[in-house]
Structure 1
Amino acid sequence: MADKPLVLGGPTCQRVVMSAYLRVPQTVLPPTPLHQDEVREVFASQPDIDRRAVRIVNASFGGSGIDTRYTAITELGTEFAGDATFYDRSSNLLLSPGTSVRNELYVRTATPMFVEAARQALAASDDIAPEEITHVITVSCTGFHAPGPDFAIVTELGLRPGVERYHFGFMGCYASIPALRAAAQFCHADAEAVVLVVSAELCTLHLRSSSDPDTIIASSLFADGAAGVLVTGRPPAPGVPGAELDSFATAIAPDSVEHMAWTIGDHGFEMILSTAVPKVIEANIDDALGALCAADEELTYARDCDDLAGTVTHWAVHPGGRDILDRVQHKVGLADAQLDAAREVLRTCGNMSSATVLFVIRRILLDGASKTGERLIAMAFGPGLTMEGGVMTVLGGAGDGA
C-alpha cells in the first residue's frame, strides 16, 4: 500500500513491495470482576467527597456504557480475606497506597499477563515456532520495571536470546497502533520477520477516590487487560482469519493538550481526562480520517472522507467511553452495527487503555459477518490529544461463503 517501502533488487531493479499480516489478537483478563453498579456505590459512598462529586460519580458510572470490567487488585473481590492495601471492605473505604506499592503490584501481576498473552498468540498460530520470532514489542503505560516484560517473554517462552526487543511506554490508549505500525515496518523490510506485539495495562492500580471530575471520569472507565498479536511478513494460511496491514496515519488535535494527560504522582499515576475529550475528538476526527485517506491508495478518492462509512465495512474505534463512540458514530455516519464490536468490548471489559483496540480488532476478525477483502479502520486516542489510525484488509473472513 501507499506507505510501504519499495525494495529494489536484481539487475533490472525490479520493485518489490513487502507486505505485513496481522493474526487474530489473543486476549487475557485478570480474574477479579468489577460490576459497575457495585463499584459506583463504593465510590459514591466515600467520606472524602462532596455532594457534587457524588452526583458526578452516579452520572459518570451510570452513563459509562460499562456493565463489567476486570482488575488485578484481588482485594476488590468479594472473597478476599487478607490485609487491605487498596480497599478495606470492613469499613468500605478506598485506601491510597503510594506509587511504589502500586508499581510493585504491577510488576507482580502485569508480567504474567504479558507472558500469557504472548503464549496464547504463539499457540494460536500453528505455523510459527517460538524460535522464529524476530522482534518483540511490548506496550504499557501503567507501570515500569527493568528487566521488563519483554525480557520475561523472551526467557519464559524460550525465544532466541538475540531477538530484537522494544518497549512502547507511557503513550496511553493509542499506543498499540504505532506498535502495529512498527511491526509492519519490520515486515516491510524483511519478508521473514515475525513480530510479537503484546500490550498489558493495569489501569485500576491508579484509581482513587476524589471530588475532581476528571479523576471521577477516569475511575468510571478504566480497567485491566492484555492482548498479544503476531505480525508476519507472510500471510496466514488460506481460510485462517487475519488482516493485511495496509497503512497508518497520525493526527494531533490542536490546542487540546490540557484535555488528556498522564503523569506520575505520589499516590499513583494521575490521569487528566476532561469532559471535553469527546467533543475534541468529534471536532477533529475528519483530520485523522483525512490523513488515513491520504496514506491509503484505495481510499484517496474519498472526498473529505464523507463516504468512508460505506467504503470501509469495519470500524475498530477505541471505546474510551460511550460518549466518544456516540460522537464518532454521528460525525462519520456509521451504522449501529459498525460499532457493535467497540461497544461490546466497552460493556464487558471497560477501557483497558492500549490493549482495548486489540480486543475490538479480535471481535471484528472473528465475527461471522466479516468477509475477506473488506476494509477495516482502527482508531485510538490518547494524550496530546493524539489520534492514531490504521487501515487493514480482512483475510480469511469468518463470513466467507455465507
Structure 2
Amino acid sequence: MYLFLSPLVVVIAAQVSTFSLQDLYVLWDHLRFNLISVIVCSALLVFLSTVYFLTRPRPVYLVNFSCYKPNDDRKCTRQIFMERSRLTGTFTEENLEFQRKILERSGLGESTYLPEAVLRVPPNPCMAEARKEAETVMFGAIDELLAKTSLKPKDIGILIVNCSLFNPTPSLSAMVINHYKLRGNIISYNLGGMGCSAGLISIDLAKDLLQIHACFKLSLPYGGAAILLSNKRSDYWRSKYRLVHTVRTHKGSDDKCFSCVTQMEDPKGKIGVALSKDLMAVAGDALKTNITTLGPLVLPMSEQLLFFATLVGKKLFKMKLKPYIPDFKLAFEHFCIHAGGRAVLDELEKNLQLSDWHMEPSRMTLYRFGNTSSSSLWYELAYSEAKGRIKRGDRTWQIAFGSGFQM
C-alpha cells in the first residue's frame, strides 16, 4: 500500500505546486460541476484507507518475561548425581561409567538443578510429585511476571501453556486458570509433545491469535519461563521487545526426521526418550530449510545477492562452488540457541559462523541450568540482559528445535 500510494501522492503534490491561483479557481469550478466524480473518488479513497487499516498486521509487543530460579537446595553437583544414581541400585558399573563420561562432556556445571522427586533415594517420579513440580515452576514464574508488569490476572485474555512430557488431566493451563482465578471467557491452549521448540511455537500461535483478539497473552513454556505479549499500541512504551518475524519448519513427513527423538519403553518397560544418531544431521537439514525462508526477511540485500549468485553459478552454470552461508551477524546482534547439549551448540556455532561472544548466553545457560527444554531461550535472553549486552534497537534471533522434527 505504501509503495502504491507514495509515488501517487508525490506526483499530485508536485502537480498542485505548479498551479497558479487562477488554475486553482478553474479546478474548483471543474470539481463543483462534477459532483459525481468527486463523490466516487472520495468513496474510493475512504474504501482503500479502511481496507488498509483493517488488514494491516497488528504489532505484537513482548512486554516482559520472567525465568524461574529454583531454591539452592535443588542444586546438584556431578558427584551428588553419581552418588544418587549408584544408590538407586538399578545401574550396573558399566552403566554408571558411561553416565559419568556423558556428564563430563555435557557442558553442565556444578550448580545445575534437579527436582526433589529425582534427588530422593530412591527416586519418586509419581504423578503427585510431577504436579507439585509443575505448580512450583509455573506459579513461581507467573508470580514474578505479574509483579514486574503490575498486570491483574483478570486482564489476561489468552493463555498458552506448553510442556513436552507431562500432560495431566486437568491440563496445566487449567491449573493456571484455577490458581489465578482467570476470567471465564479466556482463550486457553495446552500444547504437549512438541519438544524443545514448543516455546517458540507458543509465541507463533499467540502472534496469530493477537491479530484477531485485542488482549494480553501469557505464554508459559514449561521449565521455568513466563512471557507476556500484548497487541495494545499503548504498551509500546513499556515493552522490552517487538515481535517481528516467526518462521516455522516441520520435517515430520520424513520418517528419519520423525523418529529421531522418540519417547518409548526399553526392554524392561522403563519409559524414556530415545535419541537417534541421525539427530545432528536432521537438525542441520531443518536449520538449512528454516534459514532459507528467514534469510530474505532479515538479511541485507548484499548478502542475498551473494547467495543468489552462488546458487545460479552452481545450478545454472554447473560451477564447482561451495554453498554460500549468509552472514546472519549482519542481521542480528544477539543469538539465543536452544541449550540442548554441548554438541548441538558446537554444530550451530560452526554452521552459522558465530563467535564465542555470540554463543556465551547459550553455553552459560547450559552450564548453569542444564537443558530446560523450551524455556532455555528465555534464560539466555535474561543472561544477555543481565550482562548489559542488549541495547535499544538490537535484534535477537531465537532458535529452537524439537521432536517431530520441527523448529
Normalising by the smaller structure, the TM-score range is 0.7 to 0.9
Q: TM-score, normalised by structure 2?
A: 0.73
Of residues 242, 248, 251 in structure 2, which corresponds to 1:250? 248
1:394 maps to: none
Deviation string for 1:70-122 (max 9, x for gaps)?
2222572xxxxxxxxx524xxxxxx5x6xxx5223112221232222222222
Of residues 285, 291, 294 in structure 2, which corresponds to 1:292? 294
Contact kept? 1:176, 1:358, Cα under 8 Å? no
Of residues 104, 108, 118 in structure 1, which corresponds to 2:142? 118
1:299–1:70 CA distance, 2 compared to 1 (3 A)? farther
- The answer to which of 353-362 and 322-331 deviates more is 353-362
2:158 maps to: 135
Contact kept? 2:196, 2:401, Cα under 8 Å? yes
Q: TM-score, normalised by structure 1?
A: 0.74
Q: Is 1:185 the counterpart of 2:208 in the alignment?
A: yes
2:359 maps to: 339
1:272 maps to: 274
Distance 2:211 2:348 in 1: 31
Q: CA deviation at 1:248?
A: 1.5
Deviation string for 1:136-159 (max 9, x for gaps)?
111112322222222232232232
The amino acid that maps onto 1:228 is: A
- The answer to which of 173-182 and 368-377 deviates more is 368-377
Gaps of 5+ in 2: 1-44, 308-323
1:217 maps to: none
1:109 maps to: 133
RMSD: 2.9
Q: Superposition pairs for residues 305-320 of structure 1, below 5 Å? A: 306-320=326-340
1:179–1:307 CA distance, 2 compared to 1 (3 A)? same
2:396 maps to: 376
1:172–1:118 CA distance, 2 compared to 1 (3 A)? same
2:218 maps to: 196
The amino acid that maps onto 1:11 is: F
1:366–1:257 CA distance, 2 compared to 1 (3 A)? same
The amino acid that maps onto 1:306 is: P
Higher relative contact order (CA 8 A, sep 6+): 1
Q: Superposition pairs for residues 2-401 of structure 1, below 5 Å? A: 11-12=47-48, 13-15=51-53, 16-31=56-71, 32-43=74-85, 48-50=90-92, 52-67=94-109, 68-73=111-116, 76=119, 87-88=121-122, 102-126=126-150, 128-190=151-213, 192-200=214-222, 225-234=223-232, 240=238, 242-252=240-250, 254=254, 255-263=256-264, 269-294=271-296, 296=297, 302=304, 303=307, 306-386=326-406, 388=407
Question: Comparing both structures, which one devotes a greater share of its residues to helix?
Answer: 2
The amino acid that maps onto 1:14 is: Y
Distance 2:265 2:221 in 1: 20
Distance 2:58 2:227 in 1: 19
Q: Secondary structure at the match of 1:348?
A: helix
Question: Comparing both structures, which one devotes a greater share of its residues to strand?
Answer: 1
Distance 2:403 2:257 in 1: 9
Gaps of 5+ in 1: 1-8, 77-85, 89-94, 201-224, 389-402
Distance 1:236 1:74 in 2: 44
